[in-house]
Amino acid sequence: MSDPPPDPRARPPAPPRWRRGLFGRVFFTFFAAVLAFVTLASIVQFATAERHDAGWVEAADAVVEAHKPALLAALAGEGDLEAAAAALAGALELRVAIRSPDGAHLAGDPATPPLRPLRPRQRSRLERGAPVMLREKSGEPQLAFPIGDRAILIADTGDHASRRMRTLVLGVVGLVGLLGASAWLLARSLTRRLALLEDGAARIARGELGHRVQVDPRGDEIDRLGQEMNDMAYQLGELIRGQRSLLTNVSHELKTPIARLRVLAELLTERAESLPEHPASARIRKGAVELEQDLGELATLVQDLLTFGRLELSGPHASPVQRTPIDLAPFLGRLGAPFAAELAVTPPGLSLTGDPLLLDRLFTNLLSNARRACPQGHVWITASSAATDVTIAVEDEGPGIPPAERARVFEAFYRLDDARARDHGGAGLGLYLCAQIARAHGGTIAAEGRESGPGARLVVRLPLAGPPAPVL
């Protein structure tokens, strides 16, 4: 025995949320970005930080003590003071200047600021030959070393602060760039796939129920959302196919018995006419006529249902309109003759491209409504052309349509208050189908009032060539 075919909607179980889900991706991406940010910030801070403490002063003092003999000899005129200052600056990796006790520049970097004001305690240390570190609330520290009693060595970090600030700025820029790049990658990954879902939803909303969104069966929440959309489109397609099949089959099955009943009603009417005059005979004749009218309305309703199925339940790519060139003068004349409608077509050879069966249904409904509204009055049907479209109007001398109701009469099953009585007939589908047929041809329909008196004017505007046929 062969295995049953796989269900097209079946999919493997979803993986754990933390492992491959969108939640896990967002969480771990954010966590990794923050962790990298903290790590790099710590590295930048460590790389740019300098420890200006007592150990740093002692180390600098040891270097100065090692170079002090050369400095003293140079101060005594037995060497090059500039060379000795440069050698000391290189050993300290600081900016160095040698100044006299009164502040005069002797050697070293002339851009080195003068000695900052000393507190009594600092001045006492300097006089005893001990180094002094001068620190302000903002800025780099300054070191002062006595060189015998003839000079004072001043040292500071020079442009180290600006270099440190540049390093810090570059580090911050790098960190911001890292976070920005991480956010961009995550946002791009999400929005690209959401855009595919948006496009798929739009195509399904336009009626392309055969369209499917590409998804990874073992993907994350977005893939599962896409799969749910595919399932929804499948269910809608099956539902519409079932409705189309049911409506078509029921309508076709009803047409045959209705046709038989109409034949029997006609025979009954003929036999009733030959009955002798009697109150019962009059009731039989009246009932036969009403039965024939009811069967005609029932046949019209079935035809309307078939038209409704053709328009509303056509396939996603199939056009319900079968376009054929139509010469309007004979076409409208044939339709208006049963209703004694007066016809005017300008110019006489006016034609358009459309579906003869659907347009027959459209104008037959309009003419039938017009004649029902004024059984003894005039009914007109006029056609005229513009540059790209044709205007066809059906007018009558009936009570007309109130302005507040003119838009609603094209809704399905909507009937005017004075037309709800049973003897007026109609199920409220006629004008709705007229609007659907006009729309299927790329045109419009509107209800207006007559300019020259009471009555209704239904105006249909259709393109001369019709809209382009959809691709199958």
pLDDT average, residue stretch 398-412:
87
422 pLDDT band, cuts 50/70/90, is: very low
Give the pLDDT score at 334: 93
Q: Does residue 319 surpass a pLDDT of 80?
A: no
44 pLDDT band, cuts 50/70/90, is: low
Positive or negative, the CA dihedral 72, 76, 82, 84 is negative
Give the pLDDT score at 50: 55
Give the pLDDT score at 287: 81
């006529």: which residue's tokens? 289
pLDDT average, residue stretch 87-115:
82
Distance CA 80, CA 70 (A): 9
More confident position, 328 or 171: 328
Give the pLDDT score at 118: 81
Give the pLDDT score at 472: 30
Give the pLDDT score at 392: 93
């589908």: which residue's tokens? 429
Long-range contacts of 76-85 (CB under 8 A, 24+ apart): 81/106, 81/107, 82/107, 82/108
Residue pair 340/379 in contact (Cβ under 8 Å)? The answer is: yes
419 pLDDT band, cuts 50/70/90, is: very low
Q: Does residue 17 surpass a pLDDT of 60?
A: no
458 pLDDT band, cuts 50/70/90, is: very high
Q: Does residue 469 surpass a pLDDT of 70?
A: no
46 pLDDT band, cuts 50/70/90, is: low
Q: Does residue 255 surpass a pLDDT of 50?
A: yes
Q: Does residue 14 surpass a pLDDT of 60?
A: no
Give the pLDDT score at 13: 54
Q: What are phi and psi of 459, to 5 degrees?
A: -115, 125
The most distant pair of C-alpha atoms in the chain lies apart, rounded to whole Å, by 161
If you average pLDDT over every residue of the chain, what do you get?
77
* pTM of this structure: 0.49
First to last CA, the chain: 38
What type of residue sits at position 2? S
Give the pLDDT score at 23: 62
Give the pLDDT score at 383: 93
Q: Does residue 243 surpass a pLDDT of 90?
A: no
Instruction: Dig out the tokens for 360 from the structure.
Output: 């027959």
Q: What is the pLDDT of residues 187-221, one digit of tens each?
A: 777 778 888 888 888 888 877 778 888 888 777 77
The CA angle 168-173-178, to the nearest 5 degrees, is 125
Q: What is the pLDDT of residues 281-303, one digit of tens each?
A: 778 878 877 787 777 777 777 77
Q: Does residue 270 surpass a pLDDT of 70?
A: yes
462 pLDDT band, cuts 50/70/90, is: very high
269 pLDDT band, cuts 50/70/90, is: confident
Give the pLDDT score at 327: 92
Q: What is the pLDDT of residues 341-390, one digit of tens each?
A: 999 998 888 989 888 888 988 999 899 889 988 888 899 999 998 878 89
The residue among 47, 75, 74, 161 whose CA lies nearest residue 113 is: 161
